[in-house]
């Protein structure tokens, strides 16, 4: 039973196509997205921006995920989970500037293998957010 739960969780962390959701960094809508690589939470006094995927709400806090496509966060060839690179720290910093009332954190849905080449390439990659649509938080 525990193995089935572990396998289900592992599958939920993999990239998948989600209708109506676009990558936060490049804006691709037709690509498989990773949802548990970067997560967010904020007070329920504010609306969740349309560029973020809301997943749960309890005790006055809304939680969700930041959608990243398989080009922006490629899958590991071994475990097929999204690879977390140093570039994601800069993405989180850019998101924090764009949405100051929201807290962004690394999620658990990332590969634990070593990816030296991807890490090295990500250090020189520029961070841009696809759109500022929905950047305002409404009371």
Which tens digit of pLDDT belongs to each residue from 70-129?
988 888 898 888 988 888 899 999 999 999 999 999 988 888 888 787 777 877 788 888
Distance (Å, rounded) from C-alpha 78 to C-alpha 49?
34
pLDDT of 132 over the 60 cut: no
The answer to whether the pTM exceeds 0.85 is no
Tokens of 33: 């997205």
Distance (Å, rounded) from C-alpha 115 to C-alpha 132?
31
Q: Name the residue ranges covered by the structural domains of the chain.
A: 2-122
pLDDT of 31 over the 80 cut: yes
Tokens of 112: 């634990």
**Strands 33-43, 53-58: pairing kind:** unpaired
């Amino acid at each position: 039973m525990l193995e089935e739960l572990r396998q289900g969780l592992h599958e939920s962390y993999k990239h998948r196509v989600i209708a109506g959701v676009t990558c936060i960094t490049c804006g691709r809508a037709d690509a498989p997205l990773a949802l548990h690589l970067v997560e967010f939470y904020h007070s329920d006094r504010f609306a969740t921006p349309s560029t973020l995927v809301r997943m749960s709400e309890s005790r006055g806090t809304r939680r969700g995920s930041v959608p990243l496509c398989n080009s922006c966060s490629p899958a590991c060839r071994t475990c097929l989970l999204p690879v977390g690179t140093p570039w994601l720290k800069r993405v989180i910093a850019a998101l924090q500037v764009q949405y100051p009332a929201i807290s962004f954190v690394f999620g658990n849905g990332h590969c634990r293998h070593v990816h030296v080449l991807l890490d090295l390439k990500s250090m020189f990659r520029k961070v841009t957010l696809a759109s500022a649509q929905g950047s305002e938080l409404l009371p």
